[in-house]
């Protein structure tokens, strides 16, 4: 197993990325290729007190770096020797089993689509992070920003891809798939969501997915489903709302336990439980977001990732590489397409 890591991507690159990669190489016994400016990576190793690279870590030199202001649509061509582009190329050529990058989300999504390529028949790749819910270790939210404008067919494909990912990576035999909506009734929502509901319901009745119907935002954190389907615009708002509320409550909880001697004593008694709660909602523990619909696994780590978050992202990449998500998508692509009506059907003649 080999994971290629964009050593120059993210706010804390290359130091924290290199540190996280070394941790992962040691903890998961996996081979890692650090892609980036060789001299910068070696300098980071020196700062970390590492005299030599471990036997299962190597460097692939890349002279350019993708910046946040770069145009995502053209950056892979303009910066063909960037750490991100070279890493994606190694993945496409089969010289790695998965890739991790904390660089620009737009550039990584565009690069993965252009270089590694989508699974044939998939209309759009999507971003699928895990929300910290009681649903079998979290609820997969698909999509969270890659596709702000969607068609019913996109949402159908998101549901299938999310279901296959949860089944193959998390071992959930029949993942519950919900459609994020403003009400539980089938008639709720705009035209996009009404039409998507029809497609998902049909797929559920055919036994292709385990569709449980519409899910309201207030139900999400109860873990009512394993996969939650949404257009990227709505999903992004939900994700950031959840992140914001998590930070708010953790901050309030911390302040509450500092108010008095008794509250400090209570915090000491509950230390283990509080740590477990913090770990559950920590983005560092999850590590990254999977790009679904790409032929080989690509994990997007948060731009502000520290070493532990990079380590977690690499752990997720290893699991994704060991899964058969892309194969399941390819095998079932015929059920994930919306057939265009014939001329006779459109005119009501057939």
pLDDT in tens, 2-29: 999 999 999 999 999 999 999 999 999 9
Domain 1-122+293-336: top CATH class: alpha beta
Query: 204, 200, 230: which is closest to 139 by C-alpha?
Result: 230
Query: 131, 119, 130: which is closest to 160 by C-alpha?
Result: 119
- Cβ-based burial of 280 (10 A; exposed 0-12, middle 13-18, buried ≥19): middle
Domain edges within the chain: 1-122+293-336, 128-286
pLDDT in tens, 83-133: 999 999 999 999 999 999 999 999 999 999 999 999 999 999 999 999 988
pLDDT in tens, 120-172: 999 999 999 999 888 788 999 999 989 999 999 999 999 999 999 999 998 99
One fold for both 1-122+293-336 and 128-286? yes
Fold of 128-286: Isopropylmalate Dehydrogenase (3.40.718)
CA pair distance 238, 269, nearest whole angstrom? 34
CA pair distance 122, 116, nearest whole angstrom? 13
């Amino acid at each position: 197993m080999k994971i290629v890591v964009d050593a120059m991507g993210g706010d804390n690159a290359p130091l924290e990325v290199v540190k996280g990669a070394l941790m992962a190489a040691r903890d998961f016994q996996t081979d890692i290729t650090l892609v980036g400016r060789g001299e910068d990576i070696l300098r980071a190793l020196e700062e970390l007190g590492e005299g030599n690279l471990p036997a299962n870590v190597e460097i692939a030199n890349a002279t350019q770096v993708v910046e946040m202001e770069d145009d995502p649509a053209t950056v892979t061509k303009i910066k063909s020797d960037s750490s991100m582009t070279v890493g994606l190329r190694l993945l496409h050529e089969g010289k790695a089993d998965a890739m991790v990058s904390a660089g620009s989300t737009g550039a990584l999504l565009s690069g993965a689509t252009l270089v590694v390529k989508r699974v044939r028949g998939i209309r759009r790749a999507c971003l699928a992070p895990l929300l910290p819910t009681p649903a079998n270790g979290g609820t997969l939210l698909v999509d969270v920003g890659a596709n702000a404008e969607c068609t019913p067919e996109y949402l159908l494909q998101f549901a299938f891809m999310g279901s296959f990912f949860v089944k193959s990576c998390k071992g959930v035999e029949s993942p519950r798939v919900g459609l994020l909506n403003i009400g539980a009734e089938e008639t709720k929502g705009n035209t996009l969501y009404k039409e998507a509901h029809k497609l998902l319901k049909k797929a559920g009745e055919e036994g292709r997915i385990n569709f449980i119907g519409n899910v309201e935002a207030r139900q999400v954190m109860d873990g009512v489903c394993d996969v939650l389907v949404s257009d990227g615009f709505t999903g992004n708002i939900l994700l950031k709302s959840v992140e914001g509320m998590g930070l708010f409550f953790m901050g309030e909880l911390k302040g509450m336990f500092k108010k008095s001697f008794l509250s400090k004593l209570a915090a000491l008694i509950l230390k283990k439980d509080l740590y477990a709660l913090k770990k559950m909602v920590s983005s560092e523990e999850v590590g990254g977001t999977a790009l679904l619909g790409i032929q080989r696994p690509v994990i997007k780590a948060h731009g502000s990732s520290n070493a532990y978050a990079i380590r977690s992202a690499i752990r997720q990449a290893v699991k994704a590489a060991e899964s058969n998500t892309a194969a399941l998508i390819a095998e079932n692509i015929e059920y994930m397409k919306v057939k265009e009506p014939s001329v006779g059907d459109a005119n009501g003649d057939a």
